[in-house]
Amino acid sequence: MSEKLKFKILEHELVPEHEVLKPEEAIEVLRSLGVRPEQLPYIRASDPVARAIGAKPGDIVKITRKSPTAGKIVVYRFVIAG
């Protein structure tokens, strides 16, 4: 996909905050959760938001969502090729 997005996807109200974790942060998250990276839910490197933040296969992405009941919730995704 060499198409450019026609709008700034990260500024859309329905797109939660995404950030690529630094390697040391990723190690700490995996250790605290007691999982290996491939045990996390996946996000493809071709996903529009993953592309917008520069996520590459092997990275771990932290997603912070607003929740009406919990205030905010943090989830992690393992970036895979595709």
Task: Give the whole-angstrom CA distance, residue 77 versus residue 56.
Answer: 12
pTM score of the predicted model: 0.85
pLDDT band at 3 (very low <50, low <70, confident <90, very high): low
Question: Measured between alpha carbons, how far is residue 37 from residues 3, 6, 9, 10, 61 in Å?
Answer: 30, 32, 26, 24, 11
Q: Read out DSSP for 3-49?
A: PPPSS-GGGSTTSPEEEEPPHHHHHHHHHHHT--GGGSPEEETTSHH
Q: Note whether 77 and 41 are within 8 A (CB).
A: yes
Residue 2 pLDDT > 80: no
pLDDT tens for each residue of 32-52:
999 999 999 999 999 999 999
What integer pLDDT is reported at residue 72 of this predicted model?
93
Domains of the chain: 9-80 (3.90.940.20)
What integer pLDDT is reported at residue 4 of this predicted model?
62
